Amino acid sequence: MFSFKTKLKPWGNSAGVVIPKKKIAEGDLSMGSDVQVTITPVEVLRAKDIFGKLKTTRPTEELLGEVDRQMDSKFF
């Protein structure tokens, strides 16, 4: 048994998922194998879900400046 993330894709009037070839090999599967599928939606964390829940004594401008510096170091 194995798990992995993938996206639903349109398939006619339905939806389908793609199982990567590497996972098929790991599971010792072949085309036509019977499998059982369990669908679990991945929860996406959004800013609105946590807004106002962070308790800090540091000023907002200081925190935003720190985030900007960290982002700059990763992308530039």
Kindly tell me the sign of the dihedral angle through the C-alpha atoms of 57, 60, 65, 71.
positive
In a domain, 2, yes or no: no
Q: 13-26: string of b/e by CB count within 10 Å (b at 16+)? A: eeeeeeeeeeeeee
Q: Which domain holds residue 69?
A: 9-75
Q: What is the largest CA-CA distance in the chain?
A: 59
| Predicted TM-score (pTM) of this structure | 0.49
Does any domain span residue 62?
A: yes
Burial class (CB in 10 A: 0-12, 13-18, 19+), 4: exposed
Q: How many domains does the chain have?
A: 1
Q: Which of 47, 48, 46, 26 is nearest to 35 (CA)?
A: 26
Domain presence at residue 4? no
pLDDT tens digits, one per residue of 5-40: 888 999 999 999 999 999 899 888 999 999 998 888
Question: In this structure, is residue 3 part of a structural domain?
Answer: no
